[in-house]
């Protein structure tokens, strides 16, 4: 299982991030200052670190210097939105820079992108009675293969990696098809309906009024 360290000194934000990542299938540890983070990094192995900049004892920039030789990817999460801070963080080796406040869907998407860049995504996902092998792009249910089109597979993977989260139609379209969803388009709805039938998620893949869809697991 992917192990993520959250270094954030505000407990409400840390807990929100932790719960969101755990729902998406990640294992999480939390540190609330720089020294605590170093102790965890020295004793455990992490696949990704989410790092605030303004931390007690040791700030995020200093901590990134400590992390960099370990070759663990880092995403900065911070309220510091000045261009100079973003440039500094990226030039120091951070993979991404997310400004607070942020949407949970954006955080999950960026985490997924960085993990894929480092080839650290989970190879096999088991969710809602399905087994999804991301290496072979094969989907099975009780050992029986399910044939999906490329777009149906991408759509399935998006929901599988964002369980119990309401995804806007616009977000779904952008992630699966690219570009912006045209007003009145039924593309997302039609593909979701077909995916439901193929994988037997009629009771799991729920419509969310005026939003989009949510996979309930």
Do 99 and 143 belong together in one domain? no
What was the pLDDT predicted at 180? 86
Do 12 and 102 belong together in one domain? yes
Domain that holds residue 101: 3-117
Residue 39 has pLDDT above 90, yes or no: yes
Q: What is the mean pLDDT of residues 150-172?
A: 89
Q: What is the mean pLDDT of residues 138-162?
A: 92
What was the pLDDT predicted at 125? 82
Do 93 and 128 belong together in one domain? no
Residue 10 has pLDDT above 80, yes or no: yes
- Of 134 and 195, the structure prediction assigns the larger pLDDT to 195
- The residue among 70, 94, 117 that closes a domain is 117
Do 100 and 162 belong together in one domain? no
What was the pLDDT predicted at 122? 65
Report angle CA 155, 127, 203 to the nearest 5 degrees. 75
Q: What is the mean pLDDT of residues 167-185?
A: 87
Do 28 and 85 belong together in one domain? yes
Do 113 and 185 belong together in one domain? no
Q: What is the mean pLDDT of residues 186-203?
A: 96
Report angle CA 164, 79, 158 to the nearest 5 degrees. 25
Q: How far is CA 216 from CA 79, 202, 203, in A?
A: 32, 11, 8
- The residue among 54, 84, 117 that closes a domain is 117
Q: What is the CATH number of the domain that holds 100?
A: 3.40.50.2300
What was the pLDDT predicted at 4? 94
Do 89 and 150 belong together in one domain? no
Residue among 65, 64, 67, 51 nearest 9 (CA): 51
Number of domains in the chain: 2
Kindly give, in sequence order, each residue whose CB lies less than 8 Å from that of residue 149, ignoring residues fewer than 6 positions away.
none
Do 12 and 51 belong together in one domain? yes
Residue 79 pLDDT grade (very low, low, confident, very high; cuts 50, 70, 90)? confident
- The residue among 86, 117, 148 that closes a domain is 117
Do 97 and 144 belong together in one domain? no
Q: In whole angstroms, what is the distance from residue 12 CA to residue 93 CA? A: 27
Do 196 and 106 belong together in one domain? no
- Of 70 and 190, the structure prediction assigns the larger pLDDT to 190
Q: Which helix (H) or strand (E) holds 111?
A: helix 104-117
Q: What is the CATH number of the domain that holds 199?
A: 1.10.10.10
Do 163 and 110 belong together in one domain? no
Provide the mean pLDDT of the chain. Answer: 89
Do 24 and 107 belong together in one domain? yes
Residue among 10, 6, 55 nearest 35 (CA): 55
99 with 79: CB under 8 angstroms?
A: yes
Q: What is the mean pLDDT of residues 8-12?
A: 93
Residue 30 pLDDT grade (very low, low, confident, very high; cuts 50, 70, 90)? very high
Q: What is the mean pLDDT of residues 109-115?
A: 87
What was the pLDDT predicted at 63? 93
């Amino acid at each position: 299982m992917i192990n993520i360290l959250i270094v954030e000194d505000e407990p409400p934000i840390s807990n929100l991030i932790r719960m969101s990542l755990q729902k998406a299938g990640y294992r999480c540890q939390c540190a609330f200052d720089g020294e605590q983070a170093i102790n965890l990094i020295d004793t455990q192995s992490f696949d990704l670190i989410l790092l605030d900049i303004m931390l007690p004892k040791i700030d995020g920039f200093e901590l990134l210097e400590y992390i960099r030789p370990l070759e663990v990817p880092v995403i900065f999460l911070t309220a510091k939105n000045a261009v100079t801070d973003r440039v500094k963080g990226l030039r120091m080796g951070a993979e991404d820079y997310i400004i607070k406040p942020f949407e949970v869907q954006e955080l999950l998407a960026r985490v997924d992108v960085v993990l894929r860049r480092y080839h650290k995504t989970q190879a096999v996902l088991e969710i809602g009675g399905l087994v999804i092998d991301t290496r072979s792009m094969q989907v099975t249910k009780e050992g029986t293969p399910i044939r999906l089109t490329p777009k149906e597979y991408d759509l399935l993977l998006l929901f599988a990696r964002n369980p119990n989260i309401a995804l806007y139609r616009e977000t779904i379209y952008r992630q699966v098809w690219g570009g912006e969803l045209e007003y009145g388009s039924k593309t997302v709805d039609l593909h979701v309906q077909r995916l439901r039938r193929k994988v037997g998620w009629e009771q799991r893949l729920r419509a969310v009024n005026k939003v989009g869809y949510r996979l309930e697991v």
